[in-house]
Chains A and B, each alone.
Chain A
Amino acid sequence: MIELSHVSKQFGDDTAVEDITLRVAKGKFCALVGTSGCGKSTTLRMINRLIEHSSGDIILDGQAIEQYDPVKLRRRIGYVIQSTGLFPHWNVARNIGLVPRLLKWPATEITARVEELMGVLGLPVGEFAHKYPHQLSGGQAQRVGVARALAADPDILLMDEPFGALDPITREKLQDELAKLQARLHKTIVFVTHDMDEALKLADHLVVMRDGRIVQQGTPLALLQRPADPFVESLLGGLERGLKQAALTRVKDHMTSLGPTLPAQSRIPADFSLRQALSMMLRDHCDRLTVVDQGDVPIGELSLRRIVKEAQLDKVSQRDA
C-alpha cells in the first residue's frame, strides 16, 4: 500500500507538487492524469525517491520511505518509463534480468525468470533474447521495459507514460495486455498518463492533477458522473463523457431477460461495453439488441429506452459508489 499525505515538492522557489494526499490500496491501479507540467511525474518519482519530497509523508507498507535505503527500496519497486530506458549495450535477456542480478539471484533462477517473463509478454525467447534494444520496434521495446520492471516480482509498479510514444494500435494492444496482466498479478500500480481514455480504461482509482495539486480523485465512474469542475470535465471529454461512461459499463449489466417480443435482429456479446452497443444501434438503425453469451446463445435483450432511463437512475443511486 502506498500512502501520500500532504506531500509537497519545491524546486528552489518553484512548487512542483503541493499538498498531495493520496492512498493506493494494495493491488489497486491508480492513474495520475493531467496536462504536462502538472506534477504527476514528480509525484510518481517521489515514491521511489528519484526525487526527494520536501514535506509531508510518503508511507510504503506502513513505513516512511525515508527509512528505506533508496537502493534497496528501488529494487522492490518496478519502474517503466516512456523512453523505455533500456540499456543499449545489453541484449534483451540481460536487460530483463537486471534487477534479479542486482539482488544476486542464482544464474539459473535469473534465466528461468527472464524466460518466463518473455513468455508472459509475448516475446519468443529464441527470437528476442539476444536482440539489442535498437533492433526492436517501439512496442517490443516497451514489452521488454515492462518485463524488466516485473523481473524481481515487485509488489509495486510505477509507470510513467509507458505507452505514450507508441502508435495507437500498439498502444491499445499493450493497454489490453497490461489490464489482463494486472487482473492476474494484482500489483499496486501508479500510472502516469495524459491520455484520459487510457486512464479510464485501466484505472481503479483516478487522480486528476493540475498545477501541482489534486483537483479530483475517485473511481473513473464517479469522476465521469460528477466532474468537480470544468477542467476535469474537459479532460474527461466534455460532451463525450456519456459515451466514455458507457465504455466503462458492460452490456450484461443493462440487459433485461428475453421478453415475449420477438428477438431483435442484431446480436451483441454480453461482455461488450455499452458504448459498443450504442454504436451498433446507430449503425443498424435499431433501438433493441439481442444479448448473446459466448456460445452465441441469446440470453437477454438490450433496449435503448431502458439504457437512457437507467442512466438517469444511476445518477442518483451511484452517488456513493
Chain B
Amino acid sequence: MTRNSATVSLPNAPSIQWFLPLIWVALLAMCIVGMPLLEGLFRWVEPDARQVVYDRAAFYELLGRHVLVVGVAAVVTIAVGVAAGIAVTRERGRDFLPLVGQLASLGQTFPPVAVLALAVPVLGFGTLPIIVALILYGLLPIVRNTLAGINDVDATIKEAAQAMGMTPWQVLRHVELPLAAPVILAGVRTSVTINIATAALGATVGASNLGDPIIAGIVNGNMAYVLQGALLIALLALSADSAFNVYQQRLRQRLSAS
C-alpha cells in the first residue's frame, strides 16, 4: 500500500478514455451500413462466387439479435454467477464453495456445441438453446472472479466493518461488493467477450445472428460470407471489451492503492 500524499491526482478525462471504444463502435456501424460498398474487396476474395456480400438478412438485424442473445445470457449469468459467488463466501455457504467452483468449471469445460446438441431436443430450434449454452459457458469467469474479488478484500477491513456494528448485509453491500467490483467486472468482461464470439454457434440451431453469414459461407464454400460475419463479430467483441476496459479503469482509479 502506498501512503504518499503526492499521488493524489485522479486522471479524469472521460472523453479520452472513451476514445477507443467509440472508434470500435464507429467501425462496427460503418461496416454494418457500408458492407455492400466493400463488394470489390470481397470479389477479390471470391472471384467466382455469384454473390459476395451476404444479403439474406440485413446486417443490422443480425447484429441486433446477436446483441440480444448475448445480453440476455449476460444478465442471467451475472445474476446467477454473482449470487452464487456471494452465497458461498458467506459463513453459512462456505461448505458449498468447492461444489460451486467445480460446477462452474464444468460449465465451461463442456463444449458449447455439445450443449447446443443436447439442448435442441429439449428446447427446440431457435434462440433458447444458444442462450442456455452461453449461460453455462459464461458462468465460470464470473463465479471465479466474484469468489476471488470477495475473498481478496482485506480481512482486517471486513473485521473493522463488523466491529463498527455493520450487519452482515451492510458489510457485503458497502464494503465487500464495492471493493470486489473491479475484479467481478473483469470476470463479466471476459464472459461477455467470449460469449459474443461463441454466440455465432447459434446460427447452427436456427438462432439467426451474426453467425449466419459464417455458417452460410461454410456451407456454400463462400469465404467472403465467413469474413463478413467474422469481421462484424470481432468488431462487436472489441467494442464491448474496450468499453468494459474503460469502466474497469474508472473503478480501479476510484479504489486506487486500496
**Cross-chain contact of A141 among B3, B156, B165 (Cβ < 8 A):** B3
Query: In the complex the two chains form, is A85's CB within 8 Å of B167's CB?
Result: no
Task: Kindly provide the distance from the CB of A14 to the nearest chain B CB, expressed in whole angstroms.
Answer: 20
Residues of B within 8 A of A138 (CB): 3
Interface residues of A (CB under 8 A from B): 48, 50, 71-76, 79, 81, 83-89, 98-99, 102, 131, 133-138, 141, 148
Query: In the complex the two chains form, is A75's CB within 8 Å of B160's CB?
Result: no
Query: In the complex the two chains form, is B166's CB within 8 Å of A48's CB?
Result: no
Task: Kindly provide the distance from the CB of B5 to the nearest chain A CB, expressed in whole angstroms.
Answer: 5
> Provided the pairs A136-B5, A138-B3 are in contact, do residues A88 and B179 lie with their beta carbons within 8 angstroms?
yes
Residues of A within 8 A of B258 (CB): 88-89, 133-134
Task: Kindly provide the distance from the CB of A51 to the nearest chain B CB, expressed in whole angstroms.
Answer: 10
Query: In the complex the two chains form, is B8's CB within 8 Å of A102's CB?
Result: no
Query: In the complex the two chains form, is A135's CB within 8 Å of B7's CB?
Result: yes
Residues of B within 8 A of A89 (CB): 178-179, 254-255, 258
User: Which of A71, A99, A131, A137 neighbours the largest number of chain B CB atoms within 10 Å of its CB?
Assistant: A71
13 A-B pairs in the complex with CB atoms less than 8 angstroms apart: A50-B162, A79-B164, A84-B160, A85-B161, A86-B157, A88-B179, A88-B257, A131-B8, A133-B258, A135-B3, A135-B5, A136-B5, A141-B3
B122 close to chain A: CB less than 8 A: no
Give the docked Cα–Cα distance between A222 and B178 (Å): 50
Task: Kindly provide the distance from the CB of A85 to the nearest chain B CB, expressed in whole angstroms.
Answer: 3
**Cross-chain contact of A50 among B163, B175, B256 (Cβ < 8 A):** B163
Which partner residue on chain B sits nearest A103 by CB separation? Answer: B165
Residues of A within 8 A of B151 (CB): none
Task: Kindly provide the distance from the CB of B167 to the nearest chain A CB, expressed in whole angstroms.
Answer: 6
Which partner residue on chain A sits nearest B165 by CB separation? Answer: A75
Give the docked Cα–Cα distance between A87 and B3 (Å): 14
Task: Kindly provide the distance from the CB of A157 to the nearest chain B CB, expressed in whole angstroms.
Answer: 12
Q: Could you tell me which residues of chain B, from 147 to 174, have a CB within 8 Å of some CB in chain A? A: 154, 156-157, 159-167, 170, 174
Query: In the complex the two chains form, is A134's CB within 8 Å of B3's CB?
Result: yes
**Cross-chain contact of A85 among B4, B5, B156 (Cβ < 8 A):** B156
Give the docked Cα–Cα distance between A269 and B178 (Å): 54
Task: Kindly provide the distance from the CB of B162 to the nearest chain A CB, expressed in whole angstroms.
Answer: 7
